[in-house]
Amino acid sequence: MMTSLRTLIASLLVALLLPGCNTTTVKTTSQTPVRADPTGAVPEAMLLDVGVNIFNPGTEGLSDKELELIYPEVRQAEARYFPTLLATTLQNTGNWGVVRVVPGQRSEMDVFVDGVILQSDGEFLKLQITVQDSSGKTWFTRTYEAEASKYAYDKELSRSIEPFQGLYNRIASDMAAFRSQITPAQVSALRTISELRFAERFAPEIYSGYLTRDGKGRYSIARLPADNDPLMERLRRIRERDNLFVDTLQDHYTGYAAKMRSPYLQWRNESYSEIRQLHEARGSAAARTVGGIAAIAASIAAIYFGANSSDPGLRTLGTLGGLTGIGAGAMLVKSGLDRNAEAKLHLESLKEIAASLDADIQPHRMELEDRTVTLSGTVDQQYAQWREILQEIYRTETGTAPTLPVREQ
């Protein structure tokens, strides 16, 4: 009996001391570099043009708990910011032709990249990326995730280092690895398919039979226009104008990213700190609660065995130790609940930070040759207006009558 009581009291002390233990994790700011193309420098004839779509914010269909740390305004901003970073990364590799941010795949490109934001809180970034070529073939769908080091938000380092640049580098490396497996003939076919899809969209009455589409939605070339086809030459010039318009939009996205970078980096830095405190608060609360419950259980047992001991000294020791343990355990449980309340305050702080970021990022205006447009949720409308302008150019140059509304692919 004496041995059992001493063991319980020892357990009580361990339970009281256990919540004070902690671990330390050390992280670095090293980034995964872009892997070199396995085939070496990509010849110009093998370069494919890439369009990066605006990402899906990933805020739909989530539970209340999952939505706890998600702020729609911030996600909407990130859905435009992340594609710009990825497009810049891809362009800098030299493995591709032109790389543009093209919302909604509204301009025909040889390769398209789509993304879904699965997690983004300053500490973790998790994206689902799908890459598909103009034939409709999916290259891959993969999930990429990275954890930022606290040193990534150092004021000096953050001026030149994107905290999650390694994630974008991995996407670029995987795309280059897949592209290296494509033959020159396949590259030529993809370029031709892109051109014919553009032609079919503007002149479906003429070019609808040049491509076939199977049950999986994949395009293949049925026949080719003549080398001296005058209508195709006109459409190629129209496509050049379309590319110039899209290039103009790139200035907007680049400016958008530049303007967003400072407030967004500040938000991620503060979000990172708040998230770390939130995790620590929740972890400490859980540890304290578990420790408190263990202490109470050990104390009740100590009182029980002490009361049934034949030794008066042990009975007194068991009772006093048990009552002390119950009091300390109750304090630990209360402390755990208090820390959970503190965690809720951190969540409120995050909401305030997100609101300040939303106030910093405003719609931008851009000047075109004959008009001023605002790109802030109305980019799709601007593309629709631009398509109408291109249709007018096509009708003027070909002398054709107005066609049915242009089909969006």
Is the predicted pLDDT of residue 280 greater than 80, yes or no?
Answer: no
Amino acid identity of 77? A
Residue 29: pLDDT band (50, 70, 90) is low
Q: Running DSSP on this structure, what letter comes out for residue 59?
A: -
pTM across the whole model: 0.71
pLDDT of 14:
44
pLDDT of 76:
81
Q: What whole-number distance in Å separates Cα of residue 258 and Cα of residue 139? A: 31
Q: Which two tokens stand for residue 132?
A: 């598909």
Q: Which two tokens stand for residue 26?
A: 């050390």
Q: Which carries the bigger pLDDT value, residue 292 or residue 94?
A: 94
Q: What whole-number distance in Å separates Cα of residue 80 and Cα of residue 76? A: 7
Average pLDDT over residues 239-256: 83
- Rounded percentage of the chain residues whose pLDDT exceeds 90: 31
pLDDT of 207:
92
Q: Which two tokens stand for residue 45?
A: 């004839």
Tell me if 291 sits within 8 A of 332, measured CB to CB: yes
Looking at every residue in the chain, the average pLDDT score rounds to 74
Is the predicted pLDDT of residue 191 greater than 90, yes or no?
Answer: yes
Q: What are phi and psi of 161, to 5 degrees?
A: -120, 125
Residue 33: pLDDT band (50, 70, 90) is confident
Is the predicted pLDDT of residue 238 greater than 80, yes or no?
Answer: yes
Spans of all domains in the chain: 47-240
- Alpha-helix runs per DSSP H in 308-378: 312-360
pLDDT (tens digit per residue) in 129-172: 999 999 999 999 999 999 987 777 776 665 667 889 999 999 99
Tell me if 322 sits within 8 A of 306, measured CB to CB: yes
Q: What whole-number distance in Å separates Cα of residue 106 and Cα of residue 91? A: 20
Residue 123: pLDDT band (50, 70, 90) is confident
Range of 29-33, 125-129, 343-347 with top mean pLDDT: 125-129
pLDDT of 374:
52
Tell me if 287 sits within 8 A of 18, measured CB to CB: yes
pLDDT (tens digit per residue) in 81-92: 899 999 999 999
Is the predicted pLDDT of residue 301 greater than 80, yes or no?
Answer: no
- Counting other chains too, the contacts that 279-284 makes at CB distance below 8 Å and 24 or more residues apart are 281/339, 281/340, 281/342, 281/343, 281/346, 282/339, 282/340, 282/343, 284/19, 284/336, 284/339
Tell me if 75 sits within 8 A of 57, measured CB to CB: yes
Instruction: Give the closest residue to 93 by CA, choosing from 194, 185, 24, 174.
Output: 174
- Alpha-helix runs per DSSP H in 102-152: none
pLDDT of 19:
40
Average pLDDT over residues 224-248: 88
- Alpha-helix runs per DSSP H in 108-183: 165-179
pLDDT of 333:
44
Per DSSP bridges, beta strands 111-120 and 50-52 are: parallel
Residue 25: pLDDT band (50, 70, 90) is very low
Tell me if 211 sits within 8 A of 378, measured CB to CB: no
Task: Point out which residues pair with 138 in neighbouring strands.
Answer: 132
Average pLDDT over residues 120-124: 85
SS3 313: helix
pLDDT of 407:
40
Out of 3.30.70, 2.60.40, 3.40.50, 1.50.10, the CATH code matching 47-240 is: 3.40.50
Tell me whether residue 256 is exposed, middle or buried, using C-beta atoms within 10 angstroms of its C-beta: 0 to 12, 13 to 18, 19 or more: buried
pLDDT of 361:
43
pLDDT of 409:
41
Q: Running DSSP on this structure, what letter comes out for residue 68?
A: G
